[in-house]
Protein backbone atom coordinates (compact mmCIF):
# COMPACT_ATOMS: atom_id res chain seq x y z
CA UNK A 1 0.00 0.00 0.00
CA UNK A 2 1.46 3.37 -0.92
CA UNK A 3 1.60 6.48 1.27
CA UNK A 4 -1.02 8.28 -0.82
CA UNK A 5 -3.58 5.56 -0.08
CA UNK A 6 -2.75 5.69 3.64
CA UNK A 7 -3.34 9.44 3.72
CA UNK A 8 -6.67 9.08 1.97
CA UNK A 9 -7.75 6.30 4.37
CA UNK A 10 -6.85 8.28 7.47
CA UNK A 11 -8.55 11.35 6.11
CA UNK A 12 -11.75 9.36 5.62
CA UNK A 13 -11.38 7.89 9.09
CA UNK A 14 -11.22 11.26 10.81
CA UNK A 15 -13.80 13.08 8.72
CA UNK A 16 -14.82 13.30 5.09
CA UNK A 17 -14.19 17.05 5.28
CA UNK A 18 -10.52 16.27 5.97
CA UNK A 19 -10.11 14.26 2.78
CA UNK A 20 -7.47 16.53 1.24
CA UNK A 21 -5.37 16.72 4.43
CA UNK A 22 -2.31 14.77 5.42
CA UNK A 23 -2.63 12.65 8.61
CA UNK A 24 -0.60 15.23 10.51
CA UNK A 25 -2.94 18.05 9.45
CA UNK A 26 -6.00 15.95 10.25
CA UNK A 27 -4.77 15.15 13.75
CA UNK A 28 -3.96 18.83 14.34
CA UNK A 29 -7.52 19.72 13.33
CA UNK A 30 -8.82 17.10 15.74
CA UNK A 31 -6.77 18.66 18.55
CA UNK A 32 -8.15 22.10 17.67
CA UNK A 33 -11.71 20.76 17.94
CA UNK A 34 -10.91 19.37 21.39
CA UNK A 35 -9.66 22.82 22.43
CA UNK A 36 -13.02 24.21 21.32
CA UNK A 37 -14.80 21.62 23.50
CA UNK A 38 -12.62 22.67 26.43
CA UNK A 39 -13.71 26.29 26.04
CA UNK A 40 -17.39 25.40 26.40
CA UNK A 41 -18.88 25.70 29.89
CA UNK A 42 -21.70 23.68 31.40
CA UNK A 43 -21.70 25.21 34.86
CA UNK A 44 -21.10 28.91 34.30
CA UNK A 45 -24.08 29.83 36.52
CA UNK A 46 -22.89 27.70 39.47
CA UNK A 47 -25.79 25.28 39.09
CA UNK A 48 -23.47 22.27 39.23
CA UNK A 49 -22.07 22.93 42.70
CA UNK A 50 -24.16 20.27 44.54
CA UNK A 51 -23.37 17.75 41.82
CA UNK A 52 -19.66 18.48 42.06
CA UNK A 53 -19.86 17.89 45.82
CA UNK A 54 -21.56 14.57 45.15
CA UNK A 55 -18.85 13.63 42.65
CA UNK A 56 -16.24 14.26 45.34
CA UNK A 57 -18.09 11.91 47.68
CA UNK A 58 -18.26 9.24 45.01
CA UNK A 59 -14.57 9.72 44.19
CA UNK A 60 -13.71 9.10 47.85
CA UNK A 61 -15.46 5.75 47.45
CA UNK A 62 -13.06 4.99 44.58
CA UNK A 63 -15.57 5.49 41.78
CA UNK A 64 -13.19 6.04 38.88
CA UNK A 65 -15.80 7.40 36.50
CA UNK A 66 -16.57 10.16 39.01
CA UNK A 67 -12.83 10.86 39.29
CA UNK A 68 -12.62 11.23 35.51
CA UNK A 69 -15.48 13.72 35.46
CA UNK A 70 -13.95 15.70 38.33
CA UNK A 71 -10.68 15.78 36.42
CA UNK A 72 -12.37 17.42 33.45
CA UNK A 73 -14.13 19.90 35.73
CA UNK A 74 -10.90 21.00 37.41
CA UNK A 75 -8.70 21.24 34.32
CA UNK A 76 -11.31 23.40 32.59
CA UNK A 77 -12.39 25.36 35.65
CA UNK A 78 -16.02 24.61 34.81
CA UNK A 79 -18.00 25.28 38.00
CA UNK A 80 -14.88 25.43 40.21
CA UNK A 81 -11.69 27.43 40.44
CA UNK A 82 -9.41 25.99 37.78
CA UNK A 83 -6.80 23.63 39.23
CA UNK A 84 -5.05 21.77 36.42
CA UNK A 85 -2.71 19.83 38.71
CA UNK A 86 -5.61 18.57 40.78
CA UNK A 87 -7.51 17.59 37.65
CA UNK A 88 -4.53 15.70 36.26
CA UNK A 89 -4.19 13.92 39.60
CA UNK A 90 -7.82 12.78 39.47
CA UNK A 91 -7.43 11.60 35.88
CA UNK A 92 -4.26 9.64 36.61
CA UNK A 93 -5.85 8.02 39.65
CA UNK A 94 -8.83 6.98 37.54
CA UNK A 95 -6.49 5.62 34.88
CA UNK A 96 -4.56 3.59 37.47
CA UNK A 97 -7.89 2.20 38.59
CA UNK A 98 -8.45 0.89 35.06
CA UNK A 99 -10.99 3.41 33.79
CA UNK A 100 -10.66 3.13 29.99
CA UNK A 101 -11.96 6.61 29.21
CA UNK A 102 -9.44 8.12 31.65
CA UNK A 103 -6.62 6.23 29.96
CA UNK A 104 -7.76 7.38 26.53
CA UNK A 105 -8.15 10.99 27.67
CA UNK A 106 -4.63 11.01 29.15
CA UNK A 107 -3.35 9.58 25.89
CA UNK A 108 -4.92 12.51 24.03
CA UNK A 109 -3.52 15.04 26.49
CA UNK A 110 0.02 13.74 26.30
CA UNK A 111 -0.06 13.37 22.52
CA UNK A 112 -1.12 16.99 21.97
CA UNK A 113 0.53 18.54 25.04
CA UNK A 114 -2.86 19.55 26.46
CA UNK A 115 -2.74 20.31 30.23
CA UNK A 116 0.50 18.26 30.44
CA UNK A 117 3.91 18.38 28.81
CA UNK A 118 3.84 16.57 25.47
CA UNK A 119 5.13 13.02 25.78
CA UNK A 120 4.49 10.64 22.87
CA UNK A 121 5.78 7.59 24.77
CA UNK A 122 3.36 8.18 27.63
CA UNK A 123 0.57 8.86 25.14
CA UNK A 124 1.21 5.51 23.48
CA UNK A 125 1.29 3.76 26.85
CA UNK A 126 -2.05 5.20 27.96
CA UNK A 127 -3.55 4.47 24.55
CA UNK A 128 -2.48 0.83 24.83
CA UNK A 129 -4.18 0.62 28.23
CA UNK A 130 -7.37 1.78 26.56
CA UNK A 131 -6.94 -0.83 23.84
CA UNK A 132 -6.30 -3.52 26.48
CA UNK A 133 -9.62 -2.59 28.10
CA UNK A 134 -11.31 -2.96 24.68
CA UNK A 135 -12.34 0.70 24.65
CA UNK A 136 -13.63 1.43 21.15
CA UNK A 137 -12.20 4.98 20.67
CA UNK A 138 -8.77 3.70 21.76
CA UNK A 139 -8.99 0.75 19.38
CA UNK A 140 -9.90 3.07 16.54
CA UNK A 141 -7.07 5.53 17.28
CA UNK A 142 -4.56 2.68 17.58
CA UNK A 143 -5.71 1.30 14.24
CA UNK A 144 -5.03 4.65 12.57
CA UNK A 145 -1.52 4.69 14.02
CA UNK A 146 -0.79 1.17 12.85
CA UNK A 147 -1.97 1.92 9.31
CA UNK A 148 0.69 4.62 9.17
CA UNK A 149 3.44 2.02 9.68
CA UNK A 150 2.55 0.45 6.30
CA UNK A 151 3.77 -3.06 7.13
CA UNK A 152 1.89 -6.29 6.59
CA UNK A 153 1.85 -7.10 10.32
CA UNK A 154 0.75 -3.63 11.43
CA UNK A 155 -1.99 -3.52 8.79
CA UNK A 156 -3.34 -6.91 9.88
CA UNK A 157 -3.47 -5.79 13.52
CA UNK A 158 -5.04 -2.47 12.50
CA UNK A 159 -7.76 -4.30 10.58
CA UNK A 160 -8.61 -6.37 13.66
CA UNK A 161 -8.76 -3.29 15.89
CA UNK A 162 -10.90 -1.38 13.38
CA UNK A 163 -13.40 -4.24 13.17
CA UNK A 164 -13.45 -4.54 16.98
CA UNK A 165 -14.08 -0.81 17.42
CA UNK A 166 -16.85 -0.91 14.80
CA UNK A 167 -18.50 -3.91 16.49
CA UNK A 168 -18.55 -1.93 19.75
CA UNK A 169 -20.39 0.94 18.12
CA UNK A 170 -17.62 3.44 17.35
CA UNK A 171 -19.16 5.64 14.67
CA UNK A 172 -15.81 6.76 13.16
CA UNK A 173 -14.66 3.15 12.99
CA UNK A 174 -17.90 1.99 11.39
CA UNK A 175 -17.77 4.73 8.77
CA UNK A 176 -14.13 4.07 7.89
CA UNK A 177 -14.75 0.31 7.72
CA UNK A 178 -17.72 0.85 5.40
CA UNK A 179 -15.58 3.00 3.07
CA UNK A 180 -12.80 0.44 2.99
CA UNK A 181 -15.21 -2.40 2.24
CA UNK A 182 -16.78 -0.40 -0.58
CA UNK A 183 -13.40 0.50 -2.08
CA UNK A 184 -11.86 -2.94 -1.59
CA UNK A 185 -8.95 -1.34 0.28
CA UNK A 186 -7.35 -3.31 3.14
CA UNK A 187 -10.50 -5.46 3.19
CA UNK A 188 -12.16 -7.54 0.49
CA UNK A 189 -14.90 -5.75 -1.42
CA UNK A 190 -18.05 -6.32 0.64
CA UNK A 191 -21.11 -4.38 -0.49
CA UNK A 192 -23.48 -6.14 1.91
CA UNK A 193 -21.16 -5.60 4.88
CA UNK A 194 -20.73 -1.92 4.03
CA UNK A 195 -24.50 -1.59 3.64
CA UNK A 196 -25.12 -2.98 7.14
CA UNK A 197 -22.69 -0.44 8.61
CA UNK A 198 -24.13 2.49 6.66
CA UNK A 199 -27.68 1.57 7.63
CA UNK A 200 -26.79 1.56 11.34
CA UNK A 201 -25.03 4.90 11.01
CA UNK A 202 -27.83 6.46 8.97
CA UNK A 203 -30.45 5.47 11.53
CA UNK A 204 -28.31 7.13 14.21
CA UNK A 205 -28.14 10.34 12.17
CA UNK A 206 -24.52 10.12 11.01
CA UNK A 207 -24.37 12.94 8.45
CA UNK A 208 -21.50 11.61 6.33
CA UNK A 209 -22.92 8.08 6.27
CA UNK A 210 -26.27 9.40 5.10
CA UNK A 211 -24.58 11.36 2.32
CA UNK A 212 -22.60 8.30 1.25
CA UNK A 213 -25.76 6.18 1.34
CA UNK A 214 -27.50 8.57 -1.05
CA UNK A 215 -24.54 8.42 -3.41
CA UNK A 216 -24.47 4.63 -3.22
CA UNK A 217 -28.21 4.38 -3.89
CA UNK A 218 -27.83 6.44 -7.06
CA UNK A 219 -24.87 4.29 -8.20
CA UNK A 220 -26.77 1.05 -7.52
CA UNK A 221 -29.85 2.23 -9.41
CA UNK A 222 -27.69 3.20 -12.36
CA UNK A 223 -25.94 -0.18 -12.25
CA UNK A 224 -29.30 -1.96 -12.08
CA UNK A 225 -30.43 -0.23 -15.28
CA UNK A 226 -27.19 -1.32 -16.97
CA UNK A 227 -27.72 -4.90 -15.75
CA UNK A 228 -31.27 -4.91 -17.13
CA UNK A 229 -29.98 -3.86 -20.55
CA UNK A 230 -27.59 -6.82 -20.54
CA UNK A 231 -30.47 -9.06 -19.38
CA UNK A 232 -28.77 -9.82 -16.07
CA UNK A 233 -31.95 -9.63 -14.02
CA UNK A 234 -30.45 -11.36 -10.97
CA UNK A 235 -27.75 -8.74 -10.51
CA UNK A 236 -30.22 -5.94 -11.19
CA UNK A 237 -32.57 -7.25 -8.48
CA UNK A 238 -29.69 -7.52 -6.02
CA UNK A 239 -28.60 -3.94 -6.67
CA UNK A 240 -32.15 -2.65 -6.28
CA UNK A 241 -32.69 -4.60 -3.05
CA UNK A 242 -29.56 -3.13 -1.47
CA UNK A 243 -30.58 0.35 -2.63
CA UNK A 244 -33.99 -0.23 -1.04
CA UNK A 245 -32.39 -1.23 2.30
CA UNK A 246 -30.25 1.91 2.31
CA UNK A 247 -33.24 4.10 1.48
CA UNK A 248 -35.34 2.55 4.26
CA UNK A 249 -32.64 3.49 6.78
CA UNK A 250 -32.60 7.05 5.43
CA UNK A 251 -36.38 7.28 5.69
CA UNK A 252 -36.54 6.37 9.37
CA UNK A 253 -37.52 9.44 11.36
CA UNK A 254 -35.50 10.08 14.52
CA UNK A 255 -37.51 11.45 17.45
CA UNK A 256 -35.85 12.76 20.61
CA UNK A 257 -37.96 12.66 23.78
CA UNK A 258 -36.96 15.11 26.50
CA UNK A 259 -38.44 14.49 29.92
CA UNK A 260 -39.23 16.93 32.70
CA UNK A 261 -36.52 17.19 35.41
CA UNK A 262 -37.42 15.27 38.56
CA UNK A 263 -37.43 16.99 41.97
CA UNK A 264 -35.61 20.05 40.72
CA UNK A 265 -32.74 18.20 39.08
CA UNK A 266 -31.08 20.06 36.26
CA UNK A 267 -30.92 18.52 32.82
CA UNK A 268 -27.17 19.03 32.54
CA UNK A 269 -25.02 16.07 31.59
CA UNK A 270 -23.04 16.43 34.81
CA UNK A 271 -26.22 16.20 36.89
CA UNK A 272 -27.40 13.11 35.03
CA UNK A 273 -24.06 11.34 35.36
CA UNK A 274 -23.80 12.26 39.04
CA UNK A 275 -27.17 10.82 39.96
CA UNK A 276 -26.48 7.69 37.96
CA UNK A 277 -23.19 7.16 39.81
CA UNK A 278 -24.89 7.86 43.15
CA UNK A 279 -27.39 5.09 42.45
CA UNK A 280 -24.51 2.59 42.66
CA UNK A 281 -23.75 3.39 46.28
CA UNK A 282 -25.57 2.98 49.59
CA UNK A 283 -25.34 6.20 51.57
CA UNK A 284 -22.88 5.91 54.45
CA UNK A 285 -21.21 2.80 53.02
CA UNK A 286 -17.67 2.58 51.70
CA UNK A 287 -18.54 -0.23 49.31
CA UNK A 288 -20.50 -0.55 46.11
CA UNK A 289 -23.29 -2.93 47.03
CA UNK A 290 -25.96 -2.62 44.37
CA UNK A 291 -26.75 -1.38 40.91
CA UNK A 292 -29.94 0.09 39.54
CA UNK A 293 -31.41 0.17 36.07
CA UNK A 294 -32.81 3.53 35.00
CA UNK A 295 -36.30 3.26 33.56
CA UNK A 296 -39.72 4.87 33.92
CA UNK A 297 -40.19 3.18 37.30
CA UNK A 298 -37.05 4.56 38.93
CA UNK A 299 -36.14 8.11 39.86
CA UNK A 300 -32.82 8.34 38.06
CA UNK A 301 -31.34 9.56 34.80
CA UNK A 302 -28.98 7.53 32.67
CA UNK A 303 -26.07 8.79 30.61
CA UNK A 304 -23.91 6.24 28.85
CA UNK A 305 -20.86 6.95 26.68
CA UNK A 306 -21.40 5.65 23.17
CA UNK A 307 -19.40 5.27 20.02
CA UNK A 308 -19.82 8.93 19.14
CA UNK A 309 -17.90 10.03 22.27
CA UNK A 310 -14.15 10.20 21.84
CA UNK A 311 -13.48 11.63 25.30
CA UNK A 312 -15.19 13.16 28.32
CA UNK A 313 -15.48 16.53 26.59
CA UNK A 314 -17.70 14.87 23.99
CA UNK A 315 -19.75 12.99 26.61
CA UNK A 316 -20.44 15.98 28.84
CA UNK A 317 -21.19 18.33 25.93
CA UNK A 318 -23.43 15.91 24.03
CA UNK A 319 -26.85 17.57 23.57
CA UNK A 320 -28.52 14.16 23.40
CA UNK A 321 -27.54 13.34 27.00
Domain ranges of the chain: 190-253
CA pair distance 152, 204, nearest whole angstrom: 34
pLDDT, residue 106, reads 96
Q: How far is C-alpha 176 from the geometric centre of its chain's CA atoms?
A: 13
pLDDT, residue 58, reads 86
CA pair distance 313, 102, nearest whole angstrom: 12
State the pTM of this model: 0.71
Q: Which residues of the chain are under the pLDDT cut of 50?
A: 1-39, 258-267, 282-308, 310-311, 313, 317-321
pLDDT in tens, 235-248: 889 999 999 999 99
What are the Cα distances from residue 213, in Å, to 9, 32, 37, 165, 198? 18, 29, 29, 21, 7
Amino acid sequence: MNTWNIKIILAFGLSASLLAMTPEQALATEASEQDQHASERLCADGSCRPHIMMLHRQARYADFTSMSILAMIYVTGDGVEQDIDRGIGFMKQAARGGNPMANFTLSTWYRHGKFVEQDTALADRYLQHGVDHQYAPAQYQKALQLYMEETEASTATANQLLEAAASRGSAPAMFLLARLKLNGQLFDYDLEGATRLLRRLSVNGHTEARALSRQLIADLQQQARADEQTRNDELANTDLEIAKQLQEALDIERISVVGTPLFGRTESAIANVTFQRDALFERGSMFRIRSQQCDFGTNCASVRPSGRHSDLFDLLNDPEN
